[in-house]
Chain A
Amino acid sequence: MLEDFISQFWPSTIDGLALGAIYALVALGYTMVYGVLRLINFAHAEIFMVGSFAALGTVQVLGVSNVGGLALIGVVALMAVVAGAVASGGAMLLELVAYRPLRKKGASRLAALISAIGASIFLQQLFATIVIPWVFGTSKEGGRLPLDEHFVSRTNVIDVGPVQVSNDKLIIFIGAILMMIALDQFVNRTRLGRGIRSTAQDPETAVLMGVNIDRVVSATFAVGGAMAGVAAALYFLRFEQAWYFMGFLLGIKAFTAAVLGGIGNIRGALVGGFALGLFEMYGSSLFGSQWRDVVAFSVLILVLMFRPTGILGESLQQARA
């Protein structure tokens, strides 16, 4: 047990960071929507799933296999753009159909939560029954679509002593960091970003100051969706498969990450994502990989017992973004 942990420490750390980067990207979508609307966007997990299928489609259209080196970066960038765009559009549509009417009626957040669960079931089933058989032409193993051959040729690019990082993990890590920097710049530097922050702080005053709330909410969903789409492309790079139910577990993990860091807090989502990824990987090397979800949720309960609003605390006001 402990020997496993020590011998696996560096590989677990690398895996944990790669996984945490994906969690963090998805968590950003949860946390931004929460920050602006105080709403748990349960269907965000399905936006991630939609992005994964966009990534899969991109690779199938390109028809590439065993890509390595610089070409891989190009393919991943293209995947990320396509998946990001599709997921972003999907998220905006979701907001328009499932949340905006409720918002206009001043419905309770609980009603919005049920609407989100309904939208989530709808999207899963849409892919399971229509998109996968009709667009992708197959429904292997209950909608699980692995590629026929690996499209990534995995090589270790950094190999210093105990640390070995393969090219896909490096791309995931760097790609995620780039997206986070871009988001930080967007939220803190642009006009729309300022709208998002002001709405998060005080929607009523924001309206009085001339912020178009509908546009801000739409933009929040679009940006969150784009993050989930890029996360999906990076996830696809690592696991090379997509299926209709894949969003569920990743979604609740990412939401856990957002809460762990302090929901509504953008930097909290990053901290929470990486912390959760690391805890999970260390946990599975300590107790065996079948316990990793149990470890993840136990850590969440323990952290919230001692820090009831997450590691960095909740409010957007305090953390600038």
Chain B
Amino acid sequence: MNLTKNLKGNGGSRAGRLSLDPVRDWWATAPGTVRWAVYLALIVGALLLPSEAVGSFMAPSGSDWATMLSDQIGIYVLLALGLNVVVGMAGLLDLGYVAFYAVGGYTIGIFATKYGWNFWETLLLAIGLAALSGVLLGAPTLRLRGDYLAIVTLGFGEIIKKTASNSDYVNGPRGIQGIPHPPSLSEFEILGVQPLKYGLLDSRPYYYLLVFFIVLTIIFVKRMENSRVGRAWSAIREDEDAAELMGVPTFRFKLAAFAIGAAIGGSGGVVFAAKQTSINPENFVFLVSALILAAVVLGGSGNIPGVILGAFMLAWLPERFRELQDYRMLLFGAALVAMMVFRPEGLWPSRRRKAELEEGTGGMGTMGAEVAGPVTAGAGVAGEAAEVKK
């Protein structure tokens, strides 16, 4: 189907680059005990991350590293993992992911301040409502492909934001204040931290809460990936028509991806609102969707460690270089372009995704087809044209 391409060698051009294949090979053959040791080391590392020693390098003087971790990095990692289910695994382009984050935030905002529900109750409700809104948006629109889905999700994100800022029930543009912190679970202290006491001053407990959520999400998503559902997603991602012909109920699985991604986004919104104690529509602008999507693609969509790395970099870099003040976002935009130009497959792509990219299907459904060019033109565009004619 795509003979022109590999002759001139996209594959070849990638050979000389930084490759993580040795690590992957080692990992693939590593015995179970080694794997568990690595998992344990990663979790311990994550728990020690907010310490002063790390913070002195990671955070610029004057800003609190633990707050950066909980308010920016942790939330971004969680959201990126959620969006990765939709974009990276099922290959659906969602440009309005912030909508589900907003649903989560507003759920706790409304139910905690107006009805006195506590954090854990609203969390469950928010996850349910976010998943429901994913289904409600997905049911009529998931029959659309690629770019049409992208603009519909973008529109949905704007609808949610505008509706929030036009509704007096949630105080319009001023937003909701006085959202309670989660109830403290225990007062016990370890190494100078009270990890389960959620207060105003210490950000670390929120970070630990996010780590807990992130670990749960990773386990859940990883289990999904290796199940029938995950196989269905990669089939849809690689070739939706073929998947449908092979008897994969594509619509149902796409809807599931949407709902799961939405639920994860919703849980992120709840933690965010409970940490900040106030939310307003400006917290849920398109830029957030764009940055989360950038995190997924930049890290290497579909690969969980890559996505975490991407989200970490994207949340951390602008905060780290606060001393550049106004110019930091300027440089950030330029860096985004540069990273895509030099490493379009992402920092840490999954092996399978890399193969898909090299083969030219790109593994993004219709979004994966490569940009038409003199050498690489062909399969992607022709495939789409065929789709249109149907």
Contacts and interface: CB of A to CB of B under 8 A. Distances in A.
Interface of A: 34, 36-40, 97-99, 101-115, 117-126, 128-130, 199, 201-204, 207, 213-214, 248, 252, 255-256, 259, 263, 290-291, 293-294, 296-298, 300-301, 304-305, 308-310, 313-315, 317
Given A110-B368, A114-B293, A129-B327, A97 B337 contact: yes
A102 B148 contact: no
A297 B297 contact: no
A301 B140 contact: yes
Interface in B251-310: 286-287, 290, 293-294, 297-298, 301
Interface stretch (B24-32, B52-60, B199-207, B375-383): B375-383
A201 B386 CA distance: 11
Contacts of B151: 252, 255-256, 259, 300
B156 A108 contact: no
A217 B153 CA distance: 28
Interface stretch (B38-46, B105-113, B225-233, B359-367): B359-367
Contacts of A291: 162, 166
Contacts of A118: 294, 332-337, 339-340
A203 B378 contact: yes
A204 B376 CA distance: 8
For the complex of A and B, 5 pairs with smallest distance between CB atoms: A118-B336, A122-B333, A107-B344, A297-B155, A121-B333
B4 interface: yes
Nearest to A120: B333
B364 A108 contact: yes
B388 A111 contact: no
A99 B148 CA distance: 21
B337 A98 contact: yes
Q: Which secondary structure dominates chain A's binding surface? A: helix
Contacts of B376: 103, 106
A124 B332 CA distance: 12
A305 B148 CA distance: 10
A105 B327 CA distance: 29
Contacts of B152: 300-301, 304
Given A300-B151, A300-B152, A301-B140, A109 B330 contact: no
A138 B22 CA distance: 55
Interface in B116-154: 140-141, 143-145, 147-148, 150-152, 154
B340 A107 contact: yes
A119 B384 CA distance: 26
Interface residues of B, number: 72
A105 B336 contact: no
Interface string B7-20: 00010010000000
A207 B224 CA distance: 43
Nearest to B5: A106
A259 B147 contact: yes
B155 A203 contact: no
Contact of B371 (A109, A122, A248): A109
Nearest to A36: B372
A105 to B, nearest CB: 6
Nearest to A107: B344
Given A114-B340, A121-B287, A202-B385, 11 more contacts: A39-B371, A98-B337, A108-B369, A111-B297, A113-B297, A118-B337, A126-B330, A252-B158, A297-B159, A304-B141, A315-B388
Nearest to B14: A105
Contacts of B64: none
B184 interface: no
A108 B373 contact: no
B278 to A, nearest CB: 22
Contact of A117 (B144, B336, B373): B336
Contact of B333 (A111, A125, A304): A125
17 contacts: A38-B369, A38-B381, A105-B13, A108-B344, A109-B370, A110-B364, A115-B336, A115-B340, A119-B337, A122-B337, A199-B372, A207-B374, A259-B147, A259-B148, A263-B148, A296-B155, A301-B152
